[in-house]
Structure 1
């Protein structure tokens, strides 16, 4: 009984928060990011460089260890 009351209260809170809307002083999505998401090609290059650099580091580390004398 207590559990069902708690669930109904949390549901009521969530729906009231959603009904208020998000246009009251909230920035648009992506406005608080340190890079622009408007140019999709530039964003793709950033993603490739970021994730690609993380994937190449272990291979260069192995190569360095194997080439050490």
Structure 2
């Protein structure tokens, strides 16, 4: 009973993903699938520093907060 339903669901999922890739891909452009703009290298560098810096500094800030609590 679940066989035909599973096949139909699988086929529908494949069709949806195929259409998504066809309609949203411009093909062959480096960096087109990234969620940020790479054309301005200074902005990219600043955002990279903020992103990496927040991840590195978070444990230290959390520890400082816990130590200062009374």
Task: Tell me which interval the TM-score lies in, with the shorter structure as reference length.
Answer: 0.5 to 0.7
Quote the RMSD (CA, aligned, Å). Answer: 1.3
Structure 2: 5+ residue stretches without partners = 1-25
Runs of 4+ with >4 A deviation? none
TM-score normalised by structure 2 residue count:
0.58
Aligned residue-pair number: 45
Between structure 1 and structure 2, the one with the greater Rg is 1
Q: Which runs of 5+ in 1 are unaligned?
A: 1-24
Which deviations, in whole Å up to 9, do the C-alpha atoms of 1:30-67 show, x marking residues without a partner?
01111111111000001001001111111111101111
State the TM-score, normalized to the length of structure 1: 0.59
